[in-house]
């Protein structure tokens, strides 16, 4: 939320979606932008995937079993959910709404099918696709991670190929070659995208309404 929007009273939190094939470095990037934008909150997804070493429940994900996940699906608890690489992942409706109602911008770090579902449910969301600098860099990163079996890595590479073809569906594309530069680029998108005319209709309305009030005051 910018000081300008506070000044006009047009306070509309923004919803950002960041998608990329696994191994593109989106978690690192998201952590960096969250650290430098106080009003930006990450919507922590739910997943049935087991935690990797170093991951903590409630920080990287809410780690749940399949039964709990399916109960949330039945109760319409997700804005979107998807099966990715054999595990279930979902964006909690409650968590997303809590951040927005508190006046914070939100960022959802989700896969490509999830991004399409959020765009349908929330058309005002701004979508950003993060690209690896090359195919070989993506492959090296996935193999170098050493937290998954060869079979899982191969499955992720096949999926990545399909996912990269969806980049044109997104509003913005950021290439993660140099982490500093990619962070700057993503911050630039977060700053500029809400200024697009299509996101500013309420700002214009509020200013026009305040002008109408001052006329009433002048005539009476």
Residues contributing to the site for ligand 5GP (CB under 6 A): 22, 45, 49, 80, 82, 84-85, 89-91, 109-111, 113-114
* Dihedral class, residue 146 (left if φ above 0, else alpha if ψ from -120 to 50, else beta): left
Task: Between 3 and 86, name the residue whose CB sits nearer to ligand 5GP.
Answer: 86
Task: Between 2 and 166, name the residue whose CB sits nearer to ligand 5GP.
Answer: 166
Task: Between 13 and 23, name the residue whose CB sits nearer to ligand 5GP.
Answer: 23
Task: Between 5 and 78, name the residue whose CB sits nearer to ligand 5GP.
Answer: 78
Comparing CA positions, the residue from 13, 14, 24, 15 lying closest to residue 145 is 24
What span, in angstroms and rounded, lies between the C-alpha atoms of 127 and 19?
Answer: 8
Q: How far is the CB of 137 from ligand 5GP (least distance, A)?
A: 17
What span, in angstroms and rounded, lies between the C-alpha atoms of 150 and 84?
Answer: 17
Comparing CA positions, the residue from 13, 173, 164, 198 lying closest to residue 102 is 13
Q: How far is the CB of 217 from ligand 5GP (least distance, A)?
A: 50
Q: How far is the CB of 46 from ligand 5GP (least distance, A)?
A: 7
Task: Between 25 and 114, name the residue whose CB sits nearer to ligand 5GP.
Answer: 114
Q: How far is the CB of 64 from ligand 5GP (least distance, A)?
A: 12
**Residue 147, class by beta-carbon neighbours within 10 Å (0-12 exposed, 13-18 middle, 19+ buried)?**
exposed
Specify the 3-state DSSP secondary structure of 83: strand
Q: How far is the CB of 28 from ligand 5GP (least distance, A)?
A: 12
Nearest residue to ligand 5GP by CB is 114
List the alpha helices (DSSP H) in 25-149.
Answer: 26-36, 66-74, 93-101, 112-121, 135-144
* Dihedral class, residue 161 (left if φ above 0, else alpha if ψ from -120 to 50, else beta): alpha
């Amino acid at each position: 939320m910018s000081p300008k929007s506070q000044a006009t009273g047009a306070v509309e939190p923004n919803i950002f979606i960041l998608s990329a094939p696994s191994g593109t470095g989106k978690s690192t990037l998201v952590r960096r932008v969250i650290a430098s934008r106080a009003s930006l909150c990450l919507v922590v997804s739910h997943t049935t995937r087991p935690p990797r070493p170093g991951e903590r429940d409630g920080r990287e994900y809410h780690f749940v079993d399949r039964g709990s996940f399916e109960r949330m699906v039945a109760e319409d608890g997700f804005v979107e959910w998807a099966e990715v690489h054999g595990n279930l992942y979902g964006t909690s409706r409650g968590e997303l709404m809590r951040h927005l109602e508190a006046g914070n911008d939100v960022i959802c770090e989700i896969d490509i099918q999830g991004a399409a579902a959020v765009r349908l449910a929330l058309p005002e969301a701004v979508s950003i696709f993060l690209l690896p600098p090359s195919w070989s860099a993506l492959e090296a990163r996935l193999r170098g991670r050493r937290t998954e079996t060869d079979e899982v890595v191969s499955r992720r590479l096949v999926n990545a190929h399909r996912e990269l073809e969806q980049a044109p569906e997104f509003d913005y594309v950021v290439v993660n070659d140099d982490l500093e530069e990619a962070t700057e680029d993503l911050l630039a998108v977060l700053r500029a995208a809400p200024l697009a005319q299509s996101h500013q209709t309420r700002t214009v309305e509020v200013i026009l309404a305040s002008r109408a009030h001052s006329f009433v005051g002048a005539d009476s």
